[in-house]
Amino acid sequence: MQELKWLEELPEQSLEGGIKLLKELGWNLQVREMDGFFFVNSGHIVLLKTSTRESVDALLYGMAISFSTLPESALHAVRKFAKESAGEI
């Protein structure tokens, strides 16, 4: 069992909102299940291979919390960098 105690700090106060934030910041995240394992990828890079969905949620939650609790000016700089890196600016 796990408790995601800071969900209220994430956008939309949900893990889904946190995942949207991560994608907005350039993380091309995909979660897939294959042969009894869950895989979390960013593009072609495997970030996590696990047998439990709870581990997937914990990774995504931790990533999202690390960005969503940044001061707004720092988060703005990360957003700008992600857009520049993607060639959107």
Please give the radius of gyration of the chain, using alpha carbons only, rounded to the nearest integer: 14
Percentage of the residues of the chain whose pLDDT score is greater than 70: 100
pLDDT at 86 over 90: no
Q: Has residue 88 been placed in a domain?
A: no
Give Cα separations from 31 to 12, 46, 58 (angstroms).
Answer: 20, 10, 13
Rounded Cα gap, residues 76 and 66, in angstroms: 14
Q: Has residue 2 been placed in a domain?
A: no
Range of the domain at 43: 7-82
Q: Has residue 45 been placed in a domain?
A: yes
Q: What is the pLDDT of residues 8-22, one digit of tens each?
A: 889 999 999 999 999
Cβ-contact 39, 89 below 8 angstroms: no
Provide the whole-model pTM: 0.86
Q: What is the pLDDT of residues 18-43, one digit of tens each?
A: 999 999 999 999 999 999 999 999 99
